[in-house]
Amino acid sequence: MDHKEFYRKTGVEVTLEVIGGKWKSIILYHLTTGKKRTSQLKKLTPNITQKMLTKQLRELECDGIISRTFYNQIPLKVEYELTEYGWSLKQLLDSVCEWGERHAVLCDKHRPVDTGVEGAGVDSEWIK
């Protein structure tokens, strides 16, 4: 019997399938401050391509995390916002943001002088 038949994804795996990756959490974090147009999200996330932004927004919409409102006007106006279900991620996003800020301080505080050697990351000794 194949063991894969009995495998059930963990909550972490399921969550990361929905909000994981390089851009989704960043997009969601920006939407916690209110509705945003595509152009606003692009400015807030300058390293994302337009194609990738559109893809990520569509996936989040498909998962019921955000909603898209289309206004039939010229110029075309589309706004994205968190759904009620999407708002349930707010506490998680805040926690991730706080952890990242603490980690950035930790890294800056303990960052070795640049020796030209790549790969200097967080040493487990720093955390003790």
Kindly list the domain boundaries of the chain, sorted by start residue. 3-86
**pLDDT by residue (tens digit) across 3-15?**
667 788 999 999 9
Q: Copy the structure tokens of residue 30.
A: 């920006």
The pLDDT score that the predictor gives to residue 121 is 54
Sheet containing strand 36-37, edge to edge, reads 36-37, 77-82, 66-71
**pLDDT by residue (tens digit) across 54-109?**
999 999 999 999 999 999 999 889 999 999 999 999 999 999 999 999 999 988 87
What are the Cα distances from residue 109, in Å, to 4, 31, 113, 115, 125?
45, 31, 11, 16, 13
Mean pLDDT of 122-126: 52
Q: Cα–Cα distance between 25 and 83 in angstroms, integer?
A: 15
Domain 3-86 in CATH 1.10.10.10? The answer is: yes
Reported pTM: 0.77
